[in-house]
Chains A and B, each alone.
Chain A
């Protein structure tokens, strides 16, 4: 009996080990453990045994059953694993094949720089103000202390709108009329920046008939030229993210400021290119000054009580200085190659914590 069992175990285990497929394993299971199976038959003999004999044979037969069950499961797992491996092997893909990308969108440098400026000036407490681009003569010139006969009008290369308009309408030549609109509608203290499109009848590599300016205005009590200087230094350091920004103020003339100053920023030459920072040379970047008492008065404020400063600079120019474009005309051409090269990712949102530059 014992020999028979051992013989059976050996035969079955060998067969299981040799089973080539899941079907063969299943057939062996039926052969051994099915209703008519060899081991099932042995288990059935237990009932007819004497107790002593059953005591002896029972564990053996059960042991055999367990061993075969385990062997079947193990073989089945191995075969399943082999089958899966074979299937997966047949499913191999050439992953060097290209995939369809999402088209690369971009934000225009002018928009990006305007966002950067808004972020910096928000920290200094400046809100953003806007005004019309088709502006009347009074806001663009007269209120800014530029009467009709003023030679400064000729400096502006103004575009006039056709037709009879009263007052005469122009395309604003600067963002300064927003100063006027702000002072006439808000009570001081005022701190605003006003970015936007401006127009001058001029065209070459560094001048386009349309460009972007940003105006700054502070009206408060006790504001001096020193505050202007600090504000410009602070803003330029934050914008270029450099501590070695050096400013040079030069006395100049704008009808709407008194005293007036042109602001040069120092540059250094790195690999033959001008880079903002240092003081190897000077580049004119801003016009500024203390708001003229006549302008403050024209807006209905008392110049004895309120004073302040204003400044203006080209947004496109700031973008060029920071990001290295050298042809202003390309800004307005809409060439996709240029937009993708110089443009910014949607997620490059300027933040103070991350640095405004991208």
Chain B
């Protein structure tokens, strides 16, 4: 919402300077977004009179002028404008002035051999309009030497205020003036309402759809001349960025901005029959003033006549019945539209307008009478003509609303002690009525206020929210208690474990493209209104985002890429917390010790998966390595880690080459996903650990080399060996895998180091032989034989 300081002063009697006005607006909740003085850039241009005009000796199209600047001797100025002539009063830019339209700095310079001491300017050069046919011509009595902005009234600061959606009343200059007056910045001037004399019947109006438009006032003014609006009105409209169109249109815009009261005007000659407020028919079309055609349905309230729809009620008028220069008889519409109704229609048609933004926030329902009177006064004063009587159809919801208020609330809710009489004064200055029992009647223009909390806000914001003293919250005695949940602790521990292992945490978009989601089975959730095709599907996995990030890093020349992310994947049933890892490029760079660089492999992924699961407190030793990691992975180089056959805690392995291709990645990329929501809940066992005394006797190790079928999973053999004697064997570790010389075709050699822990006494030879026999026997069941 923009307005100028002088415009504000039409409503506010004040001596306050601009700075004070601006500071107060922000303090009371009308946040100032910008202040600009349009006259500032024209300060170096002044009113000047052409005394003589002679043909330039060197150029046919130029003239040499002598110009009276109001001080000193006349200046010589070269000018190319066809209308330059002796006696003309115009606008002169002196050396040093900057021409707004092109940024040119004026200086004394010879033009075809004649020294020119400035420039006579056109409207366009000063960005005051589009006219560039000649230089500006001012009235002959314009005071020579006056700075042009002073003469033209351009030294009027434009204030841009951000109006929050609850304050429709401040979408008019008068509402802002009322708030400032309440804040002690002056007094609100009485509103001038001077109804014009009326005669004859007003326009015929029928309301058939009162739920959308409960009240409709109309008045005809006949015999108008719709020329340009007066300078003062044009200047104000232009200052706030509104393009003047014609007197009738400008009047509607002016009243809307001045008083927050949207109006509409119809060319009466283009209407046929009564104005009917009704529901649109399905499929009915209207060409609106923005030159777009809208197709309506029965939910839309329209203003129509016998021919068709002429107005999308409260939002935008129709082109066909709009006023023009030829208009002689005009119908003024001042109606009340239901806010919810306007909001729905506006959303449905995706049509915004100044009228809609006011009606949907709720204009003052008690202002129809004054609104149409003020509009008709402007029309008659500026365009002439004679007014009909006012047609008043329906009733606006003007029943006063009141709320019982306890002035203690300012302290008990607002935290600020404000004396009751001061509160009363504040509320009254804002237009509230306060009776002796604190029954507060809300002014008709404050639809947003409907309870005591709202009144507290009014009191606090005017009294000064900055005066509210800080009050400490109560503190539970003693040291603060822990607050993190199990899930948060898990997330934190994993995050820092991953970072400690050399992984870099990324945060990638929750939404990915259809194409990126496809290899992962597509997404269960799609956006109806995505910002782009790249951000359309809620990710079903963390890997697409990480693979895309890896690809960007490769393009930037990164080699060892270790990325992880902790976040949600969005499945049909719910959002699941997940940790994703992508390892791409070089695992280790070439070096003087290790020689060639190494690439990441599936075992790197396994190492990350196990280390992170260990950190998460998962029973890593009991996990089963199984298949079915999914189509995203290399079928022979991927696995799942499960707790029991059904609970999948993680999937890891090399990413399938076809997936890599989809992400524009080459070579080998390893990945891990850990499904944090599948982790078994940690049992709360307190802080005490199980009792433990380190064994007195040293552990014994024995090595076993087995020949096994080539397809036997090493993990199965190790588990079997370890389980051969639960009492003596505490660990079994595979330390060699070998095929080749000495190993028969179709077999491989697996060497396992078994750790045996004696208890009270050292093992006897017989015991050691016994356990060795058990190990060999157990292994034999898997087809393993001791290698000779």
Interface residues in chain A, defined as those with a beta carbon under 8 Å from any beta carbon in chain B = 97-98, 100, 102-108, 110-111, 115, 118, 121-128, 130, 132-134, 147-152, 154-155, 159-163, 169, 171, 191, 197, 199, 201-203, 209-210, 218, 222, 224-231, 233-234, 248-253, 255, 258-262, 290, 292-293, 307, 331-337, 339-340, 343-347, 349
Contact = CB atoms under 8 A, between A and B. Distances in A.
Contacts of A160: 527-529
Residue among B357, B469, B473, B567 facing the most chain A CB atoms (10 A cut-off): B473
A343 B505 contact: yes
B195 to A, nearest CB: 33
Nearest to A104: B502
26 contacts: A103-B560, A118-B488, A149-B340, A149-B347, A151-B343, A151-B357, A152-B165, A159-B527, A159-B528, A161-B526, A171-B510, A209-B509, A224-B412, A229-B470, A249-B465, A251-B461, A258-B456, A258-B457, A259-B414, A259-B460, A290-B453, A332-B507, A333-B549, A336-B553, A337-B556, A339-B506
A349 B495 CA distance: 11
B475 interface: yes
A38 to B, nearest CB: 50
Interface string B514-543: 000000000001111111000100100000
Residue among B165, B412, B511 facing the most chain A CB atoms (10 A cut-off): B165
B670 to A, nearest CB: 14
A250 B505 CA distance: 37
B575 A334 contact: no
Interface residues of B, number: 99
Contacts of B487: 130
Given A122-B483, A128-B488, A346-B500, A111 B505 contact: yes
B216 interface: no
Given A225-B414, A336-B553, A124 B473 contact: yes
B483 A132 contact: no
Contacts of A111: 495, 505, 507, 566
Contacts of A97: 592
Contacts of A332: 507-509
Contacts of A201: 529, 531
A132 B570 CA distance: 10
Contacts of A290: 413-414, 453, 456
Given A128-B488, A201-B529, A335-B553, A225 B468 contact: yes
Contacts of A251: 27-29, 457, 460-461, 465
B538 A336 contact: no
Nearest to B498: A105
Interface in B585-615: 588, 591-594
B476 interface: yes
Nearest to A307: B413
A163 B524 CA distance: 10
A229 B464 CA distance: 14
Given A149-B340, A151-B165, A210 B511 contact: yes
Contacts of A191: 473
Nearest to A233: B470
B423 to A, nearest CB: 14
A334 B492 contact: no
B662 interface: no
Residue among A97, A134, A262, A336 facing the most chain B CB atoms (10 A cut-off): A336
A32 to B, nearest CB: 46
Given A197-B567, A252-B164, A334-B552, 17 more contacts: A104-B502, A104-B504, A105-B504, A105-B562, A125-B473, A148-B344, A159-B530, A197-B510, A224-B413, A228-B415, A250-B27, A251-B28, A258-B453, A259-B460, A293-B451, A336-B563, A346-B496
B499 A106 contact: yes
Residue among A103, A201, A224, A260 facing the most chain B CB atoms (10 A cut-off): A224
A107 B496 contact: yes
A291 to B, nearest CB: 9
Contacts of B460: 225, 251, 259
Contact of B526 (A115, A128, A163): A163
A334 B526 contact: no
B383 interface: no
Closest 4 CB pairs of A and B: A334-B549, A226-B415, A251-B29, A224-B415
A94 to B, nearest CB: 10
A123 B475 CA distance: 9
B753 interface: no
A7 B588 CA distance: 70
A292 B166 CA distance: 14
B497 interface: yes
B668 interface: no
B454 A335 contact: no
B745 interface: no
Residue among B347, B357, B480 facing the most chain A CB atoms (10 A cut-off): B480
B507 A127 contact: no
B503 interface: yes
Nearest to B556: A335
B89 interface: no
A334 B466 CA distance: 42
B345 to A, nearest CB: 10
Contacts of B530: 159
A259 B507 contact: no
Contact of A161 (B357, B527, B550): B527
B26 interface: yes
Contacts of A224: 411-415, 468, 471
B546 interface: yes
A105 B546 contact: no
Nearest to B562: A103
B495 A107 contact: yes
A111 B506 CA distance: 10
A225 B496 contact: no
Contact of B457 (A132, A202, A259, A340): A259
A162 B415 contact: no
Contact of A122 (B360, B484, B508, B538): B484
B568 interface: yes
B482 interface: yes
Contacts of A233: 470
Contacts of A331: 507
Contact of B465 (A169, A171, A261, A292): A261
B372 interface: no
B413 A249 contact: no
Given A105-B500, A106-B504, A149-B360, A253 B526 contact: no
